[in-house]
Structure 1
Amino acid sequence: MDKILFKASLTGNVQVLNELLAQDELILDRVSLIRVSETPLHIAALRGHNDFAKILLHKKPTLAMSLDSSRQTPLHLAAAAGHVEIARELLHVTSAEGCRFCDKDGRTPLYLAAKNEQLEIIKLLIETKPDFCKELQENGETILHTCIFYNRFEAFKLLCQLWNEDELAILKDRNGNTLLHLAAVHKQVQTVKYLLQKSSIRTNKNVVNKHGFTALDVLDHYPRDFDALGIRTLLLEANVQRAKHVKSFQTDESASSQNVTSNNKPNGNWLEKQRGILILATIVVATTSFYSGLHPPGGTFTDSKDGPLGNAVKTEPDVGPFSDFVIQNTIIMVLSLMIFVVLLSGIPLRNTFCLWVLNLATLCIMFFVAVTYLVEIANMSPDTWVNGLTVIMCFAWMLLCLLFAFIHTIFFITWVVKKLLKARTRTQMRNNNPINGV
């Protein structure tokens, strides 16, 4: 008879259920005592058999708190599957503790509803148990943290109504991350935009977590992609700062104003703000050199039998000038791609070594652009004659590039020497003062 009951619960056959109850009034009592996995109510809640579930609850309300092998109640299953009517019936007979009950993984019915973005279930729980929805979960976080973790934006917006703006600004997880921190970490552009629209979030935008990071700082510790670049732009537009700048501002306002001035230099925040534009510029340069390599000056012989693309016209009198052009063009393309990779990798542009490499690569590109331009102009001119002013300007530009490269290298070497001397001094002081070192 038990097998017939469970088969009826799979199909939601109310007629068979009524017949079984008429034949044996204790059948539900035996099921709740003997069954160690799903009860018929679990199956009805999962399948969405409303009438079947109502009869079971009417005959034996205690089935609402029965547990399956995962320690889930029927309300867990109805919430996860989005069966609103069954969830409403279960809430009528379930106590507040039943709503708070966690399965073996510490998940409440609200957790499962948020994870699966069952908006109608969430609305029902908010209407019937608003205080429960605001309670902390077993991991010490709120349901809003769960929504961000699973990227459930609509559920997040719906549940945000339970908290006022001031409360939203101070909600933190165990690591001290605010909602803005988490949205940035999980690269949720919509959520970041939504949070920054709230005045209290903007007021507390520079809060640091337990590791001393602001929402802008945490982006540096995760892989860089276009979502991360978009979030970085949003945070910078909202004037979110790095933790070290926030601390300097709090300790000394005048010193902070000087830092802001220095950070406007090309090696400061300016580069971070312009990272996306720099990436686009490197793509354009690399694409242009790639195109120039396949379509060299003078074109190609399309009827050549030496290769499917045809020989370059420049190779006809002498292959030497064409070989030089290919080398110069390849250097420009490879250096552009190298800069693109460095920018896209997310390495902080305040890093002195990174700045030195980017500066040298950029100056090399500018140098070889001028060299290639001058050589190709000469090759296209009668008897390789080039206007004197053009030659002077090109050579002046190449010398300027070499001068700047030399200056940046000197600055970099000076920085390395200072770092080594400081490290050596600290080591000597530690050796001379073993007690302080301990």
Structure 2
Amino acid sequence: MEREFSQLEGMPISADLVMAGEFVQLHGMPMPVARFGPPRPLPCPPPRPPQDRLMDSRMYKQAIQGDRDGFIPILDSISSEKKLPRSEILSQVSRQNNTCLHIAVSFGHHELAKYIVGLCPDLIKKTNSKGDTALHIAARKNDLSFVKFAMDSCPSGSGASRDVEQAEQSLLKIVNKEGNTVLHEALINRCKQEKQVEILIKADPQVAYYPNKEGKSPLYLAAEAHYFHVVEAIRKSEVEEHMNREAKPAVHGAILGKNKEMLEKILALKLVHQTDEHGRTPLHYAASIGYLEGVQMLLDQSNFDRYQKDVEGFLPIHVASMRGHVDIVKELLQVSCDSIEWLSKHGENILHVAAKYGKDNVVHFVLKKKGVENLINEKDKDGNTPLHLATMHAHPKVVNYLTWDKRVDVNLVNIKGQTAFDIAVSVEHPTSFHQRLIWTALKSTGARPARNSKVPPKLSKSPNTDDYKDRVNTLLLVSTLVATVTFAAGFTMPGGYKSSDPNAGMAIFLMRNMFQMFVICNTIAMYTSILAAIILIWAQLGDLNLMDTAFRWALPFLGLALYAMSLGFMAGVSLVISNLHWLAIVVFIIGIICLVGLSVPFLLLFIPSKSTNRILRYISYYPFLLLVWASEGPKIKQED
């Protein structure tokens, strides 16, 4: 060891070794004590370009400013300092692998960018950390004039510049990390320079069909954005599209754009039979977004297979039913009426699909159509009828429509031996409002559980005292407040009291009709609120059955008290302003409207009824739909 140390002491210490801490303990310092176990790993710095490839900060600043006269001296100065040719200095990059050409183009400094390209044409092909060339950046900024210049300046084998129509095609085929070519970037960013875009297509027509990572080709983007000049330029190039399974067909883009003229141009390219990776035809797409005019145009195409299924076995009419587009369903049935009987891969007809996705308008239309009796109770591969699926996916409005149809057998069982009622009571969250509405609809139509179900019944959750206690305390507080207010109103009569004999102490408006109405309503509110409070006090004894009964009885009494108090307020205010007729009439009208509004939510607490009585069911029909409407949240529109 001493011999080795003596040899090392005479050796120079490199900077790399000093930074790594290799010889810290060798020169006059005590040796470290040996430790067992693996050494601690040093923190890894973020990846960056090698030091000799990093751009000088002075050049970076000049590239941002775009001053060509200031850039040239800095370039010459750095070249002489580092003894490197100017082309190598220009090839240096920033932390994000941007060359000075990338920076100049991103800030729109054309003169500087042209100067850099003249000194070092190879920089046109250089990509940054995002895979962008300077041409990508220029196209993203709608600066296709620079793209044309760069393509003209691209060196050929002899080193001379060439015409743009003979420009090096690999430039246009370079893709960034998003899979976008220069033409993609120009169209994505809504480039309006028609001639420049046409030049790009003419330089390399095949690029018009290249898909990016989203599967969108420039032709697809042009069709979706209604760029007629781009589609026309691609059509004139007379290059056949090589359909990639990862690429979205351009005709689908035209359909999503919902432009009749554009769709006609794309159909003229003979692309109507293309399908995407899911096997969906253009007709599937048009039916999905509810584009009726597009559906009609596609159906008019000769030799078009309107019965082609996607990978899920769905016909276009299934997709239209799934999305709730009744007008599309009607159009498809007029052209091919037998498509109503076609089944998906899961054995689902259009009524199954509409019920599964909650499209009540389609369900309503199919149920009213003649000759659909075989669809109503048809079972899919799992034995589920449309009623099973609507119950399973919690669509109360669909369940309501189905249960009102006499042809629907509500007690059919699926493969698991479950009826729709079994599904309604065995869901994960049976207390949700939608499930309560579904249970009510099924119960009122006479639905019952199956006796031979293969699924064990879900154990009913024992009622929790705390669940009832909060409700009882809330109602007790409200009833006490109503009793207090009405008690005070009984001794502060509208208009006051007479102070002279013979009727001293009597109310001034005693003989007025509105006053009498006020007294009656105030009295009713007073005693019904006290009665509700007494019933709720009994609920505090802790017996769950008594608590539930008290809750059900106290609620209507409290509702009556609130209603009577509101009516009494209207009568009292109308009385004291009766001399100003227009104001009294306005107050009376507002009061009537509000009283009707109060009655609606209160009555909805008791209806719809679970009774199978036909009259009660009819009474409950519209309140049920109102509750469904009130319980539905905002829906997010989704499109394929």
For the pair 1:226 / 2:413, whether they are aligned, the reply is no
Distance 1:88 1:147 in 2: 22
Aligned to 1:134: 341
Tell which has more relative contact order, 1 or 2 (C-alpha 8 A, sep 6+).
1
Report the Cα offset of residue 16 of structure 1. Answer: 4.8
Aligned to 1:11: 225
Report the Cα offset of residue 146 of structure 1. Answer: 1.4
Among candidates 292, 301, 305, match of residue 93 of structure 1: 301
Distance 1:188 1:40 in 2: 36
1:370-424 alpha-carbon deviations (Å, 9 max, x no partner): xxxxxxxxxxxxxxxxxxxxxxxxxxxxxxxxxxxxxxxxxxxxxxxxxxxxxxx
Report the Cα offset of residue 153 of structure 1. Answer: 0.8
Distance 2:549 2:468 in 1: 14
For the pair 1:240 / 2:412, whether they are aligned, the reply is no
Structure-to-structure mapping, 1:173-192, within 5 angstroms: 173-192=380-399
> Which residue identity lines up with residue 267 of structure 2 in the other structure?
L
> Identity of counterpart residues, as a percentage?
24
- Residues 67 and 209 from structure 1, CA distance in 2 versus in 1: closer, same or farther, beyond 3 angstroms? closer
Distance 1:215 1:81 in 2: 31
Paired residue secondary structure (1:207): coil
Paired residue secondary structure (1:65): coil
Report the Cα offset of residue 57 of structure 1. Answer: 2.1
Paired residue secondary structure (1:244): coil
Query: 1:12 touches 1:52 (CA, 8 Å); kept in 2?
Result: yes
Report the Cα offset of residue 19 of structure 1. Answer: 5.2
Aligned to 1:102: 310
Paired residue secondary structure (2:402): helix
- Residues 134 and 32 from structure 1, CA distance in 2 versus in 1: closer, same or farther, beyond 3 angstroms? farther
Aligned to 1:212: 417
Paired residue secondary structure (1:199): coil
Distance 1:335 1:5 in 2: 73
Distance 2:266 2:549 in 1: 79
- Residues 43 and 220 from structure 1, CA distance in 2 versus in 1: closer, same or farther, beyond 3 angstroms? same
Structure-to-structure mapping, 1:367-378, within 5 angstroms: none
Distance 1:198 1:74 in 2: 35
- Residues 94 and 188 from structure 1, CA distance in 2 versus in 1: closer, same or farther, beyond 3 angstroms? farther
Structure-to-structure mapping, 1:38-77, within 5 angstroms: 38-60=248-270, 63-77=271-285
Distance 1:219 1:34 in 2: 46
Report the Cα offset of residue 282 of structure 1. Answer: 7.7
The gaps in structure 2 that reach 5 residues or longer are 1-200, 209-217, 454-459, 461-466, 485-535, 552-640
Paired residue secondary structure (1:56): helix
Distance 2:345 2:351 in 1: 14
For the pair 1:287 / 2:497, whether they are aligned, the reply is no
For the pair 1:81 / 2:295, whether they are aligned, the reply is no
Aligned to 2:378: 171
> Which residue identity lines up with residue 418 of structure 2 in the other structure?
F
Distance 1:129 1:193 in 2: 29
- Residues 77 and 166 from structure 1, CA distance in 2 versus in 1: closer, same or farther, beyond 3 angstroms? closer
Paired residue secondary structure (1:232): helix
> Which residue identity lines up with residue 280 of structure 2 in the other structure?
Q
Paired residue secondary structure (1:115): helix
Aligned to 1:111: 318
- Residues 57 and 167 from structure 1, CA distance in 2 versus in 1: closer, same or farther, beyond 3 angstroms? same
The two structures have a TM-score, normalised by structure 2, of 0.37
For the pair 1:197 / 2:404, whether they are aligned, the reply is yes
Distance 2:450 2:340 in 1: 33
The two structures have a TM-score, normalised by structure 1, of 0.52
Paired residue secondary structure (2:388): helix
- Residues 199 and 5 from structure 1, CA distance in 2 versus in 1: closer, same or farther, beyond 3 angstroms? closer
Query: 1:219 touches 1:228 (CA, 8 Å); kept in 2?
Result: yes
> Which residue identity lines up with residue 287 of structure 1 in the other structure?
T
- Residues 138 and 364 from structure 1, CA distance in 2 versus in 1: closer, same or farther, beyond 3 angstroms? closer
Among candidates 144, 158, 172, match of residue 365 of structure 2: 158
1:62-96 alpha-carbon deviations (Å, 9 max, x no partner): x1111234433222222222222222121222657
RMSD, aligned CA: 4.0
Distance 1:131 1:286 in 2: 61
Query: 1:290 touches 1:333 (CA, 8 Å); kept in 2?
Result: no
Query: 1:134 touches 1:162 (CA, 8 Å); kept in 2?
Result: no
Query: 1:216 touches 1:232 (CA, 8 Å); kept in 2?
Result: yes
- Residues 108 and 334 from structure 1, CA distance in 2 versus in 1: closer, same or farther, beyond 3 angstroms? farther
Aligned to 2:39: none
> Which residue identity lines up with residue 259 of structure 2 in the other structure?
H
Report the Cα offset of residue 136 of structure 1. Answer: 0.6
Query: 1:32 touches 1:39 (CA, 8 Å); kept in 2?
Result: no
Query: 1:75 touches 1:87 (CA, 8 Å); kept in 2?
Result: yes
For this pair of structures, how many residues does the alignment match? 272
Greater share of residues in helix: 1
Paired residue secondary structure (1:31): coil
Q: Whose radius of gyration is greater, 1 or 2?
A: 2
- Residues 12 and 167 from structure 1, CA distance in 2 versus in 1: closer, same or farther, beyond 3 angstroms? same
Paired residue secondary structure (2:384): coil
